[in-house]
């Protein structure tokens, strides 16, 4: 659980001095990727996505947990993002 924004930045792929637009796009890209992953499973009619040799990569529970984690991070660091003038979509 990241306690500090710099730890959060590592997850989001952002760091000191990165322009606001890059931060916003990076966070939004994670949101979009998670949405696409969640929609992929029902579209494909499968319960999980597997690698070539049958090892599970992720399932709906994994996606839901990642979405909850992303929402928690956005909430926890909303004030810091506001200080940086990063408006999330």
The model carries a pTM of 0.77
pLDDT exceeds cutoff 90 at 61 = yes
Round the average pLDDT of the chain to a whole number and report it.
84
Helices and strands, counts by H and E, the chain: 4, 2
In whole angstroms, give the CA distance from residue 76 to residue 2: 9
Question: Quick one: pLDDT at residue 36?
Answer: 94
Question: Quick one: pLDDT at residue 25?
Answer: 85
Question: Quick one: pLDDT at residue 2?
Answer: 63
Domain extents for the chain? 5-83
Alpha-carbon torsion 7, 12, 18, 24, what sign? negative
């Amino acid at each position: 659980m990241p306690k500090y924004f710099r730890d959060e930045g590592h997850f989001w792929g952002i760091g000191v001095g990165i322009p606001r637009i890059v931060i916003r796009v990076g966070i939004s890209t994670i949101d979009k990727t998670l949405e696409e992953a969640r929609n992929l499973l029902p579209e494909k009619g499968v319960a999980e996505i597997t690698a070539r040799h049958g090892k599970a990569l992720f399932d709906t529970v994994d996606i839901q947990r990642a979405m909850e984690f992303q929402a928690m991070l956005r909430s926890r660091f909303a004030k810091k993002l506001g200080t940086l003038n990063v408006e999330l979509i």
